[in-house]
Amino acid sequence: MTTNITVLVSGRGSNLQSVIDNIESGYIQNAAIKLVISDVEDAYALERARNHGIPAVFIDPSAFENKLAFEQEILKKLGEYDTGLILLAGYMRIVGREIIGAYPNRIINIHPALLPSFKGLHGQQQAFDYGVKVSGCTVHFVDEGMDTGPIILQKCVPVLKDDTADTLAARILEQEHRVLPEAVKLFVEGKLKVEGRIVVHT
């Protein structure tokens, strides 16, 4: 059975690209990205999706009365495309209760720091400024908190002597592009079981 994936994005879409590429190469099997939704009109991620024949839509948050109405529109789309897995790949909004309630343990986010440290925006910069010697990225299920959901996979990278926040971010991004497809593969193969806040790999 194929898992239909919808990806939510806001920007350049390099993580989206890594999942597209890993589906096309056959690393991830029995999955298809059916739809990409952006809350930013000129997000390059939309173009990346269209380049691969994937429907890509901009949903304008400012066109709705409130967050709930905006998310109801997203929910409608998720339903239309029979979504089995939602990926947040550089989606810069907090997903609300409505969507989370409708897709329990079926929403996955990638964060550019080793959670639970450095939640929120600019995780790489936060870690760099703090002076950590190791950082990395985290793939996790999404719950109602900000970057607090059960952790699926993490990858570490060293912070090197001559690093800037940008060189560190680039090193982390390389790992993001590996770990997100790996998590998607595990999910699609039914190998992730959530027990409380622990994700067991079966």
The residue (of 72 and 178) whose beta carbon lies closer to ligand GRF is 178
Q: Which of 52, 111, 122, 140 is catalytic?
A: 111
Site map for ligand GRF, 32-71, x if CB under 6 A? -------------x--------------------------
Examine residue 90 and tell whether it contacts ligand GRF (CB under 6 A): yes
Strand pairing class (151-158; 107-111): unpaired
**Nearest residue to ligand GRF on Cβ basis:** 90
Q: Is 19 helix (H, G, I), strand (E, B) or coil?
A: helix
Residue 165 CB, shortest distance to ligand GRF, in Å, is 12
Phi, psi (deg, nearest 5) at residue 71 = -70, -30
- Cβ neighbours of 185 (radius 10 Å): 18
Q: Establish whether 111 is a catalytic residue.
A: yes
Residues written for the chain: 202
Residue 100 CB, shortest distance to ligand GRF, in Å, is 17
Give the C-alpha separation, 200 to 156, whole Å: 20
DSSP 157-191: EEPPTT--HHHHHHHHHHHHHHHHHHHHHHHHTT-
Q: Which of 3, 5, 8, 15 binds ligand GRF (CB under 6 A)?
A: 15
Residues forming contacts to ligand GRF in the complex (CB under 6 A) are: 11-15, 45, 89-90, 110-112, 173, 176
The catalytic residues are 111
